[in-house]
C-alpha cells in the first residue's frame, strides 16, 4: 500500500492512499462468491446461478461495497504508516477505482497541534479575601422575607418598593415597535426590571391615573434599533400594591429549618453558614476561571476545526435543551441550526477545544491521575441536593457516560489546583456582593 501525506496549511492534512489492484480484485472475488452462494436469480435454484450471471446482476454494487470496505479497512493502516494523529473523523474522496488498476483515495482531516507549556510560571492570580458581614446576613434574611411577602392593594400614590400593575403602549417617532405594548404588567418600582424612566414616571401616580411618559433607551440597550432613541409611552396605572413582609416568628423559622427556640439568632447563624458556603464556592469558581484564562492567553494554539465543529454541535444541543426549543421533537436539525447558527457558538467552541488540549497536556506533563476519593465526594455533593440521594448515586454509577463526565470535571479541578500551587498569588479584599457579581458576569 502506497501512502503520501500532503500539508495544505495549518493543521489540515491530505493523506493519499493507493491500494494494489490485486488486493481489490481478491476482495471483490470473495464478495462475489458470497453473493453467489446466497443469490436468488430467476431461472436458477437459490445459490446455483453461474458466477458470470451473478456478476452481471450484482457486480457494480458489489464493487462499490468492496471499495467502501477497503477504504474503511485501510484507513487505520495508512494512519499508522504515515505516523500522523488525526484530531477527528476524516472525509474520504475516492480518486481512482477503475477495474484492473490500483484503488486510490484521499483522506482529509486535521491533526492535533504541538502544545508547549513553556509559560506556566507567568500565571499570576488575585485570590479574593471575603469576610461575611452582618449586612450580608441581614440582606439574606431580607430576601427570605421578601420571598414570602404578601401584596396588599393600596389607594395612595405609588412609591419606590411598591408593585404597580399597568397597561402601556409605546411609540418611537410616532410608530409602534415590537415589545412596546403590554397589558396588566407588574412592575416592582425601584428594582430596575424595566427602564428607569418608565419606573420613575409611575411614582406619585395613583390607581386609575392615565399619563404619558418619555422613556430614553440607553446607548448599550440590548436592541440596536432602539439604542439612544426616545419612546413615548401611554400608561394607565391599574393597581398599586404594597409589599408586606412576614414577621420572623415560629412559623417563619420552621419554614427555613430553624428551631423556634433558636430564634432569630439561629436564623442568622444558619444564613451566615449558607453565605460562607456560597462564598467558598464562588472563590473556587473565580480562581478556576482566572487560572484557565491565563493558561489559555499565555499559550495560544491553533485548534483543529473538526473538533471545533463537533463542539459547536454539542453547545447547540445544550442550548436547545436549556431553552426547551424542541420538546415536541418536531423541529428538524436544519431548522434548529438556522435558529441557532454556528456563529453563536464559534468563540466558545474555540475556547473549549483549546483549553481541552492545554489541560490534557498539563495532565500528561505532570502525570496527574484521577482521584477516586474526589470523584466520590463530588457524587455525594450532587446526591445531597436530592430527596433520594441513593437513587442519584445508583443512577450515576449505572451510567458510564455520566460518571466519566463527572470524572472529567474532578480531573480538571486537580489540574487547576496543580497550576494554582505554582502560580504567583496576591490577596484581593472584596465584598461578598462584588465577588458574586464578578462570578455571575463571567458566566453570562
Angstrom distances, CA of residue 208 to CA of 92, 153, 158, 239, 242: 72, 13, 12, 7, 16
- CATH classification at residue 25: 3.30.70.1050
**119 found inside a domain:** no
Q: Which three cell numbers stand for residue 168?
A: 402601556
Q: What is the DSSP letter of 155?
A: S
Tell me, yes or no, whether 306 and 439 share the same domain: yes
Average pLDDT value for the chain: 91
- CATH classification at residue 431: 1.10.3120
Single out the residue of 407, 408, 418 nearest to residue 365, CA to CA: 418
Tell me, yes or no, whether 272 and 166 share the same domain: no
What average pLDDT does the segment 330-354 reach?
90
**What local confidence, expressed as pLDDT, does residue 53 receive?**
67
Tell me, yes or no, whether 430 and 394 share the same domain: yes
**What local confidence, expressed as pLDDT, does residue 332 receive?**
84
Decide: 166 and 187 in contact? Cβ < 8 Å: yes
Q: Return the ∠ at Cα 142 (arms to 138 and 148), rounded to 5°.
A: 150
Is it the case that residue 92 has pLDDT exceeding 80?
Answer: yes
Tell me, yes or no, whether 203 and 278 share the same domain: no
Could you tell me what percent of the chain has a pLDDT over 70?
97
Q: Which three cell numbers stand for residue 429?
A: 479584599
**pTM for the whole thing?**
0.77
Q: If you write DSSP's letter for every residue of 319-341 in order, what string do you get?
A: HHHHHTTTTTS-S-HHHHHHHS-
Tell me, yes or no, whether 177 and 212 share the same domain: yes
Angstrom distances, CA of residue 122 to CA of 125, 291, 299: 10, 11, 10
Torsion angle of C-alpha atoms 200, 204, 205, 206, degrees rounded to 10: 130
Q: In angstroms, rounded to a whole number, what is the distance separating the alpha carbons of residues 271 and 286?
A: 22
Is it the case that residue 425 has pLDDT exceeding 90?
Answer: yes
Q: What is the DSSP letter of 112?
A: P
**257 found inside a domain:** no
For the CA atoms of the chain, what is the radius of gyration? Answer: 33
As for how many domains the chain has, the answer is 3
Helix axes 400-421, 263-298, angle to 10 degrees: 80
Domain closes at, from 79, 95, 110: 110
Tell me, yes or no, whether 172 and 300 share the same domain: no
**31 found inside a domain:** yes
Is it the case that residue 443 has pLDDT exceeding 80?
Answer: no
Tell me, yes or no, whether 55 and 160 share the same domain: no
Is it the case that residue 40 has pLDDT exceeding 80?
Answer: no
Domain closes at, from 57, 78, 110: 110
**104 found inside a domain:** yes
Q: What is the pLDDT of residues 130-188, one digit of tens each?
A: 999 999 999 999 999 999 999 999 999 999 999 999 999 999 999 999 989 999 999 99
**118 found inside a domain:** no
Domain, as residue range, for 74: 2-110
Amino acid at each position: 500500500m502506497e501512502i503520501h501525506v500532503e500539508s495544505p496549511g495549518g493543521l489540515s492534512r491530505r493523506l493519499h492512499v493507493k491500494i494494489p489492484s490485486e488486493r481489490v480484485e481478491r476482495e471483490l472475488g470473495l464478495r462475489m462468491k458470497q453473493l453467489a452462494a446466497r443469490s436468488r436469480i430467476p431461472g436458477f435454484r437459490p445459490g446455483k446461478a453461474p458466477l458470470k450471471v451473478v456478476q452481471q446482476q450484482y457486480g457494480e454494487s458489489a464493487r462499490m461495497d468492496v471499495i467502501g470496505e477497503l477504504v474503511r479497512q485501510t484507513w487505520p493502516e495508512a494512519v499508522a504508516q504515515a505516523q500522523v494523529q488525526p484530531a477527528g473523523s476524516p472525509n474520504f474522496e475516492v480518486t481512482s477505482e477503475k477495474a484492473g488498476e490500483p484503488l486510490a483515495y484521499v483522506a482529509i482531516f486535521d491533526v492535533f497541534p504541538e502544545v508547549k507549556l513553556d509559560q506556566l510560571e507567568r500565571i499570576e492570580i488575585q485570590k479574593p479575601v471575603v469576610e461575611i458581614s452582618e449586612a450580608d446576613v441581614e440582606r439574606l434574611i431580607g430576601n427570605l422575607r421578601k420571598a414570602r411577602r404578601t401584596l396588599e392593594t393600596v389607594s395612595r400614590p405609588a412609591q419606590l418598593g411598591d408593585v404597580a400593575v399597568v397597561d402601556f403602549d409605546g411609540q418611537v417617532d410616532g410608530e409602534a415597535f415590537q415589545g412596546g405594548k403590554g397589558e396588566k404588567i407588574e412592575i416592582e418600582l425601584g428594582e430596575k426590571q424595566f427602564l428607569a424612566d418608565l419606573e420613575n414616571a409611575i411614582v406619585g401616580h395613583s390607581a386609575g391615573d392615565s399619563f404619558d411618559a418619555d422613556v430614553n433607551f440607553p446607548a448599550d440597550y440590548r436592541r440596536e434599533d432602539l439604542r439612544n432613541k426616545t419612546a413615548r409611552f401611554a400608561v394607565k396605572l391599574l393597581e398599586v400594591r404594597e409589599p408586606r413582609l412576614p414577621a420572623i416568628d415560629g412559623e417563619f423559622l420552621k419554614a427555613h429549618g430553624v428551631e423556634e427556640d433558636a430564634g432569630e439568632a439561629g436564623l442568622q447563624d444558619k444564613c451566615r453558614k449558607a453565605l460562607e458556603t456560597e462564598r467558598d464556592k464562588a472563590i473556587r469558581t473565580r480562581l478556576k476561571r482566572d487560572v484557565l484564562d491565563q493558561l489559555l492567553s499565555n499559550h495560544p494554539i491553533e485548534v483543529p476545526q473538526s473538533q471545533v465543529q463537533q463542539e459547536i454541535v454539542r453547545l447547540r444541543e445544550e442550548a436547545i435543551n436549556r431553552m426547551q426549543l424542541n420538546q415536541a421533537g418536531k423541529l428538524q436539525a436544519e431548522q434548529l441550526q438556522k435558529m441557532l447558527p454556528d456563529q453563536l457558538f464559534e468563540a466558545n467552541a474555540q475556547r473549549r477545544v483549546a483549553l481541552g488540549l492545554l489541560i490534557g497536556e498539563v495532565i500528561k506533563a505532570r502525570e496527574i491521575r484521577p482521584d477516586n476519593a474526589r470523584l466520590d465526594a463530588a457524587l455525594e455533593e450532587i446526591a445531597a441536593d436530592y430527596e433520594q440521594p441513593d437513587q442519584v448515586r445508583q443512577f450515576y454509577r449505572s451510567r458510564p457516560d455520566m460518571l466519566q463526565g463527572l470524572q472529567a470535571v474532578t480531573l480538571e479541578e486537580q489540574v487547576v489546583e496543580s497550576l494554582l500551587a505554582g502560580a504567583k498569588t496576591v490577596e484581593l479584599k472584596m465584598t461578598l456582593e462584588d465577588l458574586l457579581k464578578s462570578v455571575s458576569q463571567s458566566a453570562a
